[in-house]
Structure 1
């Protein structure tokens, strides 16, 4: 009987300690230093308002007062770091070639009309700017704007050159980088541990496991940014009649597990920012902020700005 009482008291003590540290993480761990905080994040520069990942899109978003530009990087055949989402140029330029096989000077222009990935049956028609930019162009044009870099391929040279550009333009305190693939994030951290990291997908899954077992407060985290989708938006990207019952269940389950205010609040208490992507409707903006997200990534920076102003979040905008 005494052994049962001992086990129960031990479990109770663990649960209470875990709950306390979940609410008050700085009792155990020092809060990470934040050099910037982003509430308004422009996905690919605002792919719903200008051609994605172009200088025109970035200029528009910065003029609106975005807190952060999100972009994607690849390497050309002549080892230039370019801002582009896909490894193949077909979707964006109409030319069926891989970016790694084409020299920068030979890159074709963007198509004048591109689909908006996270808005069903929506397209963006661009203006005069159809050029694929270099990463250094972005750094030179917006020296004080935080940039979120998705390293799109597992390429040591790409990672090294991005780090060199970040150092050259004195942006280690204004940059976050990573990818959903853990091997890429590990290489980023090894190349330059001073640039803040995003959680990879395996690390997100580990994070959830630690959270639901109560172990999260006891485990150190090297990452400084959790960047996750809101699974419920799948219903807006794909018609319900085109989803199976199992797909709808998986979406519901993923949403229930990921969108947790207690998790977001704990991470924020440790100085880890939480970004939710890619949200393009006011109801999703509201839900993310109600859950405690520090920032929202959107294809429509004007719409998000108007939402922030209407809901008295203007203090976070420049």
Structure 2
């Protein structure tokens, strides 16, 4: 009479298959840990010691009208480590420093930046809407204008900066590459953008000599791979910095492991936009290289309390 396998035999076979799969996966992960990673050559933006760099977001948008000479000058007086700004192209092809693609929110004008000439943009009051802590408008009618990138480089020669390309226009990338070369700022700036095509084009336009922050796709791929412990599979050697928020898509990005993994490649880790004391202390604790903030005066105070004033 024919007999059928007993349940115990089926369980044993299933166990062997499962064990073989687990061993294969384990060996795969072990092998990945031996994959060498390429280190980035530019170390300029790694923190010195335990104190992270203070990066003035839009020059310090919480202290003065963002992306204006007024804000950048205040941050310079505070001796922040880096200035952060955003750039667009005017109708006549000038690189201008402004966050939005329209002038409505930050000036007394209306319309798209790309549809206005530099002369028209310069006529606007870039301090019009800024509200001070006492509820007044301290910069209204004070001659605060939208600056050009050329003005910024001329006014703050050699000052470290991170500059975001706010459009996908490849001409903007070309113009920025030319301005950086003209002002000898090659080793002093980080170029960033949420437009991967524009950022990758900039890398080519600058012959890969200007530091860049990792584009959105590369950052996303690295973060996902990091969570799966396979980040060594993701090439990052083109990038000098990774600029990320503390959380994204429900994921906590504030771990010592992600910072150490990027430091193994000599890549700086900079977080945005940080405006509270708990977050500052958390980022110091995990070894972040930079803290981008609207209130550099506040972050400086916290770091001075923690480590003493910079001499």
Q: Work out whether the TM-score is over 0.5.
A: yes
Change in Cα spacing, 1:124 to 1:211, as seen in structure 2 (3 Å) is farther
Match of 1:84 in 2: 98
- Structure 1 distance, partners of 2:72, 2:107, is 19
Greater shift in the superposed pair: 211-220 or 149-158: 211-220
- Structure 2 distance, partners of 1:304, 1:123, is 24
Q: How much has 1:312 moved relative to structure 2?
A: 0.3
Match of 1:226 in 2: 242
Change in Cα spacing, 1:112 to 1:181, as seen in structure 2 (3 Å) is same
Matched, 1:200 2:215: yes
Q: Secondary structure at the match of 2:130?
A: strand
Match of 2:144 in 1: 130
- Structure 1 distance, partners of 2:131, 2:263, is 34
Q: How much has 1:124 moved relative to structure 2?
A: 7.2
Q: Secondary structure at the match of 1:209?
A: helix
Q: How much has 1:293 moved relative to structure 2?
A: 1.4
Count of aligned pairs: 286
Q: How much has 1:6 moved relative to structure 2?
A: 6.0
Q: Secondary structure at the match of 1:177?
A: strand
Larger Rg: 2
Match of 2:267 among 268, 272, 278: 272
Match of 2:197 in 1: 183
More helix by share: 1
Task: Please tell me whether the aligned partners of residues 91 and 113 of structure 2 are also in contact (alpha carbons under 8 angstroms).
Answer: yes
Task: Please tell me whether the aligned partners of residues 56 and 129 of structure 1 are also in contact (alpha carbons under 8 angstroms).
Answer: no
- Structure 1 distance, partners of 2:119, 2:239, is 36
Q: How much has 1:170 moved relative to structure 2?
A: 0.8
- Structure 2 distance, partners of 1:8, 1:255, is 26
Q: How much has 1:70 moved relative to structure 2?
A: 0.3
Match of 2:6 in 1: none
Matched, 1:66 2:61: no
TM score, norm. by length of structure 2: 0.83
Matched, 1:216 2:225: no
Q: Deviations over 1:169-196 (max 9, x none)?
A: 1111111112112222222222112111
Change in Cα spacing, 1:269 to 1:209, as seen in structure 2 (3 Å) is same
Q: How much has 1:283 moved relative to structure 2?
A: 1.1
Q: Which sections of structure 2, spanning at least 5 residues, go unmatched?
A: 1-12, 48-52
Change in Cα spacing, 1:172 to 1:92, as seen in structure 2 (3 Å) is same
Q: Secondary structure at the match of 2:292?
A: strand
- Structure 2 distance, partners of 1:29, 1:9, is 29
Match of 2:39 among 30, 50, 61: 30
- Structure 2 distance, partners of 1:110, 1:305, is 26
Q: How much has 1:310 moved relative to structure 2?
A: 0.6
Match of 2:129 in 1: 113
Task: Please tell me whether the aligned partners of residues 42 and 69 of structure 1 are also in contact (alpha carbons under 8 angstroms).
Answer: yes
- Structure 1 distance, partners of 2:232, 2:163, is 28
Match of 1:163 in 2: 177
- Structure 1 distance, partners of 2:191, 2:309, is 26
Task: Please tell me whether the aligned partners of residues 39 and 264 of structure 2 are also in contact (alpha carbons under 8 angstroms).
Answer: no
Q: Which sections of structure 1, spanning at least 5 residues, go unmatched?
A: 232-250
Q: How much has 1:202 moved relative to structure 2?
A: 2.1
Task: Please tell me whether the aligned partners of residues 49 and 124 of structure 1 are also in contact (alpha carbons under 8 angstroms).
Answer: no
Match of 1:295 in 2: 290
- Structure 2 distance, partners of 1:67, 1:129, is 27
Q: How much has 1:36 moved relative to structure 2?
A: 3.6
Change in Cα spacing, 1:124 to 1:177, as seen in structure 2 (3 Å) is farther
